[in-house]
Amino acid sequence: MASGSGRVQGKVALVTGAASGLGAESARRLSREGATVILTDRAAEAGEALAEAIVGAGGKAAFFSHDVASEADWERVVAATLERFGRLDVLVNNAGIASSGLQLMTHSLEDWRRVLSVNLDGVFLGLRHGGPAIAQSGGGSVINISSIMGKVGMPGAAAYCASKGGVLMLTKAAALEWAQLKIRVNSIHPGFIDTPMVAGALHQAEDGNMMRDLIISRHALGRLGVSREIADGVVFLASDEASFMTGSELVIDGGYTAQ
């Protein structure tokens, strides 16, 4: 898939949640721009198929089964990456789960912990175990996928908002700690993107079509985003084009938070 201009040529990039949606497209785009891509996900069949497709198109890729909420899995995946490819330059903490319709008056601690364990703990564990590997490689870039819901609230999504707001501030703290190690840490804040996760949330809504129209109306550009638009941001932050960016919030939301 090396048909781009080589913006991340020679870099080794690990993308979590890479079997579908934003993670899958980010892995494809990074490969097209010259990166060796390690895809991780709990969905092994889809992840392996994408890795094979990238290799079949001329890229370099591997897939590892991975639960981002498991510290043992992080240790295994990072060790396997270093053993197979010798370095790690880019980490994309993309894996996440949605939550909606969970009212605070009746919200269970179990549901709260389930969302936070993936969306926030998973990013912490990525930093904790991926960071030393990137430092060992001489520096690089960490890209944490947050959300506009880490910047503005939404009723019924307290756990999701809290987790994504936590990612925003964790990103800034890591950026300050690691600047001297030549590791840049930035967050991306997508609006509503036409992905399986958003489609699943709409499917669960009482009136999915009405909800979709309402969500679209809140984006100034009058549409949902597409995965490529977020993946382009990932490639930018992974590349040397963003060499003076760290601790920053890259908002790609069609104008949602401008209103």
User: Does 89 score more than 90 pLDDT?
Assistant: yes
| 211, β-bridge pairs | none
Measured distance CA(51)–CA(48) in Å, rounded: 5
Which pLDDT does position 237 carry in this prediction? 98
What are the pLDDT digits (tens) for 142-154?
Answer: 999 999 999 999 9
Considering the chain, what is the average pLDDT of its residues?
94
Q: What percent of the chain has pLDDT over 90?
A: 84
What residues act catalytically? 160
Q: Per-residue confidence at 205, pLDDT binned at 50, 70, 90?
A: low
Compute the average pLDDT of residues 155-179. 97
What are the pLDDT digits (tens) for 39-81?
Answer: 999 999 999 999 999 999 999 999 999 999 999 999 999 999 9
Which pLDDT does position 259 carry in this prediction? 87
Which pLDDT does position 202 carry in this prediction? 63
Please report, for the chain, the start and end positions of each structural domain, with discontinuous segments joined by +.
12-192+226-258
Compute the average pLDDT of residues 167-196. 96
Q: Are 68 and 96 in contact (CB under 8 A)?
A: no
Which pLDDT does position 204 carry in this prediction? 66
User: Does 198 score more than 80 pLDDT?
Assistant: no
What are the pLDDT digits (tens) for 110-134?
Answer: 999 999 999 999 999 999 999 999 9
Three-state secondary structure string covering the chain = CCCCCCCCCCCEEEEECCCCHHHHHHHHHHHHCCCEEEEEECCHHHHHHHHHHHHHCCCEEEEEECCCCCHHHHHHHHHHHHHHHCCCCEEEECCCCCCCCECCCCCCHHHHHHHHHHHHHHHHHHHHHHHHHHHHCCCEEEEEECCHHHCCCCCCEHHHHHHHHHHHHHHHHHHHHHHHHCEEEEEEEECCECCHHHHHHHHHCCCHHHHHHHHHHCCCCCCCECHHHHHHHHHHHHCHHHCCCCCCEEEECCCHHHC
From residue 250, how far is each of 102, 233, 237 by CA, in Å?
28, 8, 9
- Could you say which of 3.40.50.720, 2.40.50.140, 1.10.260.40, 3.40.50.10420 is the CATH number of the domain covering 12-192+226-258? 3.40.50.720
Which pLDDT does position 157 carry in this prediction? 92
Which of 134, 28, 48, 152 shows the shortest CA–CA distance to 91? Answer: 134
